[in-house]
Amino acid sequence: MPMNTTLFKKYRQFPQISLPDRQWPNRAITAAPIWCSVDLRDGNQALPMPMNVSQKFDLFKALVRCGFKQVEVGFPSSSDTEFAFIRQLIEGGHIPDDVTIQALVQAREDLIERTFQSLLGIKRAIIHVYNSTSPAQRRVVFGLDKPGITAVATRGVRWIKDRLPLLGDAAVTLEYSPESFSATEVEFALEVCHAVMDVWQPTSESKIIINLPATVEVATPNVYADQVEWFIRNLSNRRSAIVSVHTHNDRGTGTACTELGLLAGAERVEGTLFGNGERTGNVDIITIALNLFTQGIEPGLDFTDLNALKEVYERATGMMVPPRHPYAGELVFTAFSGSHQDAIKKGLAEWQTGKREFWDVPYLPIDPGDIGRKYQEVIRVTSQSGKGGVAYLLESRFGIKLPKDMQREFGPIANRQVDTLAREVKADELRAMFEAEYINRVIPWTFLASDGHESGGSFSVRVSRNGEELNLTAPGKGPIEALVHALIEAGVPRFEVAGYEEHALGSGEAAQAIAYVGIKFAEREMYWGAGIDDDIKLAPMKALFSALNRASVS
pLDDT digits (tens, 9 = 90+) for 85-108: 999 999 999 999 999 999 999 999
- What average pLDDT score do residues 428-436 get? 92
At 244, the amino acid letter reads S
pLDDT digits (tens, 9 = 90+) for 10-48: 899 999 999 999 999 999 999 999 999 999 999 999 999
Is pLDDT of 303 > 90? yes
Q: What is the pLDDT of residue 380?
A: 65
Q: What is the pLDDT of residue 378?
A: 58
Where does the pLDDT of residue 452 fall: very low under 50, low under 70, confident under 90, or very high at 90 and above?
A: low
Is pLDDT of 454 > 60? no
Q: Which residues pair with 520 in a beta bridge?
A: 496, 526
Of the given ranges (290-294, 295-299, 501-505), which has the lowest mean pLDDT? 501-505
User: Which residues, including other chains, have CB under 8 Å from residue 540's CB and lie 6 or more apart?
Assistant: 479, 480, 500, 502, 515, 517, 531
At 502, the amino acid letter reads E
CB 242 within 8 A of CB 267: yes
DSSP reduced 3-state for 415: helix
Q: Which residues pair with 518 in a beta bridge?
A: 499, 528
Q: What is the pLDDT of residue 129?
A: 98
How far apart, in Å, do the first and last CA atoms of the chain sit?
Answer: 63
- What average pLDDT score do residues 172-197 get? 98
Q: What is the pLDDT of residue 14?
A: 94
Alpha carbon distances (Å) from 283 to 108, 231, 246, 279, 457: 28, 21, 8, 12, 75
pLDDT digits (tens, 9 = 90+) for 478-492: 788 888 988 998 889
Where does the pLDDT of residue 329 fall: very low under 50, low under 70, confident under 90, or very high at 90 and above?
A: very high
DSSP single-letter state for residue 534: S
3-state helix, strand, coil in the chain (%, to 5): 45, 20, 35
Domains of the chain from N-terminus onward: 32-317 (3.20.20.70), 338-438 (no CATH), 445-550 (3.30.160.270)
Distance CA 536, CA 230 (A): 74
Alpha carbon distances (Å) from 468 to 327, 539, 542, 548: 59, 22, 17, 16
Q: Among 70, 498, 511, 493, which Cα is nearest to 270's? A: 70
Tell me the pTM: 0.78
Of the given ranges (159-163, 223-227, 301-305, 329-333), which has the lowest mean pLDDT? 329-333
Is pLDDT of 251 > 60? yes
The strand pair at 208-214 and 241-247 is best described as parallel
pLDDT digits (tens, 9 = 90+) for 350-371: 999 999 999 999 999 999 999 9
Is pLDDT of 377 > 70? no
In what helix (H) or strand (E) does residue 433 lie, and over which residues does it extend?
Answer: helix 427-434
pLDDT digits (tens, 9 = 90+) for 137-158: 999 999 999 999 999 999 999 9
Distance CA 376, CA 465 (A): 40
Distance CA 477, CA 456 (A): 11
Of the given ranges (188-192, 418-422, 442-446, 460-464), which has the lowest mean pLDDT? 418-422
CB 175 within 8 A of CB 102: yes
